[in-house]
Structure 1
Amino acid sequence: MVEAVLIDLFSLPANMQNNFQDLLCTTLGTIQECSSITAPPVYVMCSQTEQGERNDEQELLPALKDFQALKKSLEVVRALTTTAALYTIKQRLDEKDLSTIKIILPAFRRDLMKVYIAQLFTAVYRFEFEDLHMASDCNNLLIAEPQPEGQARSTCDVELITSEIQIYLQSLPNLKGELTILRSSLIPDGIFLHGFTTRTGGISYIPTLSSCNLFSSSKRRDPQAVVKENLRRLANAAGFNLETFHRVKVDHGNVVCIMGKTEPDSYDGIVTNLKGVTIAAPGADCIPVLFADPVRKVCGAAHSGWKGTLLGVSMATVNAMVSEYGCNVKDILVVLGPSVGPCCYKLPQESAKEFHRIDPKCVRLFDSENPYIDLRRATRILLETGGILPENIQDDSVTDQNQNITFCTACHPDKFYSHFRDGTNFGTQIGFISLKD
């Protein structure tokens, strides 16, 4: 079922520009006769004229005189670029939590529009395309013929569209304040660049993703283009090079990638001794763990959820640093980033038993159906058992004198994302580290 309609009048052939009202009236008639729901929201996308925005209400009154129901749910969006218009409409769709959209547009704009959609939307949205019609009879629809110059535009370069999108997103203001990076005094600043992100200072606008979301997936509404812009702003603020940025490919396991060797299909740990290469691990309840050896000048990052914790992903990362780069385990520093705390996190009884075996203190209310789990304590115990010195581990049991790092993500909605708290459409923060040049 179509939940919304987008009429693309942004780049009509010249001979149709003067027939705006007639064309809109005809199209609205088609919607009213053919729509399976009553008065879906209708968005009309138009190019901004040099004279500025006209009075849309007055302009559309004649075209809407027979469509009062549609008039109440119709909005005209004028912008200088397709990106600006389409992104504005996306915001309207997200405000209403709409996902199924019919796009009515000139035939020559279809391939072009698909390129924009691929970059500005995710698989959460479903699109139907219909050619812009010149007749309102549902059984006798006439397709508008494009002008030759319009046909040429249908073969536009994808790189030009990408550039247009990037320029527009870069022009947007930060949301929820300035970008904030948490740093640990345990990791020597003279050798390593590192930090843990918070949720402020990006452009993501959906409440559970706002504002510096750093992960895009087919199940969330934040497109890759927005995540890339958030990451660009982080790189600028932190001082690392995006071209040498590598993030783990999460599988909730214990595989570790060695930078410079064949990259696994998926992995939750990554290590390197290459200067200027920034490595990162995500977290949105799971622990982003950073590793630094100031003696051998090696660093690592790991994503440790409950499954990865039980599989020993943190020690697997330590072992990779030792075996690949000759690190001494007693030189390795480990910092646990923001993650869900034992105050909030629960697991079913069967999974809780595995943490109880590591240490009974890792589980609270063990006899309940869903006991509380302390992922950080379990991680610390496994690291100490593997030879990491207790004083070389920072978690919530060892608070940084300069700044606390290991917050509970679920307890601080103003600072962090949380899958546990926010549900499916959650945002993601990261921990990152690199050897300085």
Structure 2
Amino acid sequence: MKITEHNVNGVVYLSADGFEAAGGVVHGFSTRLGGVSQGIYATLNLSMNRGDDPDHVRENYRRFCAAIGAGSERIVCSSQVHGDTVRTVTAADLGVGLDQPEPWQADGLVTDIPGVTLTVFSADCLPILLYDPVRRVVGAVHAGWRGTALGIVTRAVERMSQCYGCQRMDILAAIGPGISKCCFETHEDVPNAMTEAMGAAALSFIQVLPTGKFRVDLKGLNARRLEAAGLDPEHIAVAEDCTCCLPEKYWSHRYTHGERGSQAAMIALA
């Protein structure tokens, strides 16, 4: 599978061609292009809690959802806390408005309810979308370095299998734009967390620098976790774009020192 870029009425977003080929689902990874927000939030900010004008954010949601073909009235998101909790979204979870505080903490969401738009937010952390076209189940995951070490994407695959009977070889996965190895320079706490969690399998995704710091490939680590969870490597697409390298196209928490809006990744069963 590959990640492809689209421009619909000025809204630039990314998608996985394998999801589109399978049919029955709408999805997309936003950029910061195509909205109405201003200043540090220009232009397609999709976060309601970073100080942007709420009316601008609502219009940004309308534009992005229209571009990818999703329903903005049934969006479900959560309070992301860099953990490994995956919530199964049911009909009882619907109806929380974008202006309302998220009712629970989770970094992964899964559902089999058509029309429910699962949403995760990012600005360097990885947004990861999952789709089983056979059992008709979707998932959305937020994976920063802590979530990667904890195995949040593995937890999501397990939840899809346990709750909905998904066969892992049927699941498609798309790892969206996030900070890449070129820009993710860290101290030893990050590589130590990866090797403690994944053992020798993590080593090829960690580069030791002459300064004593490290560069870590979060995209590669999550792709490896997906393969270890039972997915077909041909069913995993990885976005090449680095959010920190492309500040005009994406928000990067690291590049802006936290003065930013947020991207969103959305997926819904059609």
TM-score by length of 2: 0.86
Any idea what the Cα deviations from partners look like across 1:366-411, whole Å, max 9, x if unmatched?
Answer: 574431111011111111111111111111xxxxxxxxx3311111
1:191–1:435 contact (8 Å) kept in structure 2:
yes
Which one of 23, 26, 45 corresponds to residue 213 of structure 1? 45
1:349–1:366 contact (8 Å) kept in structure 2:
no
**How large is the Cα RMSD of the aligned pairs?**
1.8
Please say if 1:419 is aligned against 2:253.
yes
Which one of 18, 26, 47 corresponds to residue 186 of structure 1? 18
Matched letter for residue 233 of structure 1: R
- In percent, how many aligned pairs have the same letter? 33
- Indicate the residue corresponding to 1:408 in structure 2: 242
- Indicate the residue corresponding to 2:194 in structure 1: 355
1:221–1:425 contact (8 Å) kept in structure 2:
no
**1 or 2, which has the higher strand percentage?**
2
2:11–2:34 contact (8 Å) kept in structure 1:
yes
Any idea what the Cα deviations from partners look like across 1:265-293, whole Å, max 9, x if unmatched?
Answer: 20010011111111111111100000000
- Between the two structures, name the one with larger relative contact order (CA 8 Å, sep ≥ 6): 2
- Indicate the residue corresponding to 1:306 in structure 2: 145
Structure 1 position 210, deviation (Å): 1.1
**How many Å separate the matches in 2 of 1:248 and 1:295?**
26
Matched letter for residue 13 of structure 2: I
1:296–1:326 contact (8 Å) kept in structure 2:
yes
Structure 1 position 193, deviation (Å): 0.6
- State the number of aligned residues: 248
With over 3 angstroms needed to count, the CA separation of the structure-2 counterparts of 1:249 and 1:262, relative to structure 1, is farther
**How many Å separate the matches in 1 of 2:82 and 2:60?**
24
Secondary structure at the counterpart of residue 110 of structure 2? strand
- Indicate the residue corresponding to 1:82 in structure 2: none
**How many Å separate the matches in 1 of 2:260 and 2:120?**
16
- Indicate the residue corresponding to 1:201 in structure 2: 34
- Indicate the residue corresponding to 2:104 in structure 1: 265
Larger radius of gyration: 1
Matched letter for residue 81 of structure 2: D
With over 3 angstroms needed to count, the CA separation of the structure-2 counterparts of 1:343 and 1:178, relative to structure 1, is same
Matched letter for residue 179 of structure 1: V
1:355–1:373 contact (8 Å) kept in structure 2:
no
- Indicate the residue corresponding to 1:375 in structure 2: 218
- Indicate the residue corresponding to 1:276 in structure 2: 115
Please say if 1:390 is aligned against 2:224.
no
Secondary structure at the counterpart of residue 185 of structure 2? coil
Q: Equivalences for 1:7-406 in 2 at 5 Å?
A: 178-189=10-21, 190-206=23-39, 208-217=40-49, 220-260=50-90, 265-356=104-195, 357=199, 358-365=201-208, 368-395=211-238, 405-406=239-240
Q: Post-superposition, which runs of at least 4 consecutive aligned residues in structure 1 deviate over 6 A?
A: none
Secondary structure at the counterpart of residue 295 of structure 1? coil
Unaligned segments of structure 2, at least 5 residues: 1-8, 94-102
